[in-house]
């Protein structure tokens, strides 16, 4: 029926009609590739994020299995982060590295980002040895970096003094460090 159609168009068609099983089936049948397939997965995850209960579970679990079966580790990581942006948790420790609050605090110290900035947007545990939501912390770090880039661009247009470029680099580094298996050591 949708042989020559782009995967994003087909998934949007099924999502608009409320036929999420059809959208999941299309994503499963098409070969995974970086751009359109990832966008189609983001569309499915967006709809799944708005559902609750068994309806959500019927969409989330097949997608999670599909993501775990991907051979492209980079695509796997980006799909998990895209899903986390809309409140869908596809990673249960299989895709992204696990970090504790102690490691997060060390990473923020190394990169010059405040833990409070990350904690403002995601729930952090009180216990230092408790695991943090790595995907949420990485998404927050990326969002902070994007916000700072827009702020810097806006200030340069207006002619005001720009915030230090190191702030942008620090926010992006913390997002990348959260995804790294072996984060950098502290500076001496």
CA distance readout (Å), 77 to 42, 58, 112, 131: 13, 22, 25, 18
Given a cut of 60, whether residue 161 has pLDDT beyond it is no
- Return d(Cα 104, Cα 122) in angstroms, integer: 13
Residue 100, strand partner residues: 131
Span 37-68, pLDDT tens digits: 888 888 888 888 888 888 888 888 888 888 88
The pLDDT of residue 102 is 93
Q: Is the pTM of this model over 0.85?
A: no
Q: What are 165's two structure tokens? A: 């470029």
Span 138-157, pLDDT tens digits: 888 888 888 777 776 666 55
The pLDDT of residue 173 is 73
Q: What are 35's two structure tokens? A: 């751009």
Confidence of residue 5 (pLDDT cuts 50, 70, 90): confident
100: phi then psi, degrees, rounded to nearest 5: -100, 170
Given a cut of 70, whether residue 137 has pLDDT beyond it is yes
68: phi then psi, degrees, rounded to nearest 5: -65, -25
Q: Tell me what the mean pLDDT of segment 60-83 comes to.
A: 88
Q: What are 72's two structure tokens? A: 């492209």
Q: Is the distance from CB of 118 to CB of 137 less than 8 angstroms?
A: yes
């Amino acid at each position: 029926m949708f042989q020559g159609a782009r995967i994003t168009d087909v998934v949007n068609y099924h999502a608009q009609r409320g036929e999420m099983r059809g959208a999941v089936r299309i994503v499963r049948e098409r070969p995974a590739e970086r751009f359109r397939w990832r966008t189609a997965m983001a569309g499915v995850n967006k709809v799944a994020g708005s559902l609750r209960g068994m309806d959500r579970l019927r969409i989330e679990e097949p997608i999670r299995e599909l993501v775990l079966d991907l051979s492209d580790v980079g695509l796997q990581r980006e799909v998990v982060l895209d899903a986390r942006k809309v409140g869908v948790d596809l990673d249960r420790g299989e895709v992204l590295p696990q970090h504790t609050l102690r490691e997060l605090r060390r990473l923020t110290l190394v990169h010059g980002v405040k833990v409070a900035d990350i904690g403002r947007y995601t729930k952090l545990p009180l216990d230092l040895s408790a695991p943090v939501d790595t995907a949420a912390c990485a998404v927050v770090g990326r969002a902070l970096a994007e916000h700072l880039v827009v702020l810097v661009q806006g200030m340069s247009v207006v002619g005001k003094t720009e915030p230090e470029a190191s702030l942008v680099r620090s926010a992006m580094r913390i997002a990348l460090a959260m995804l790294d298996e072996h984060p950098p050591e502290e500076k001496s």
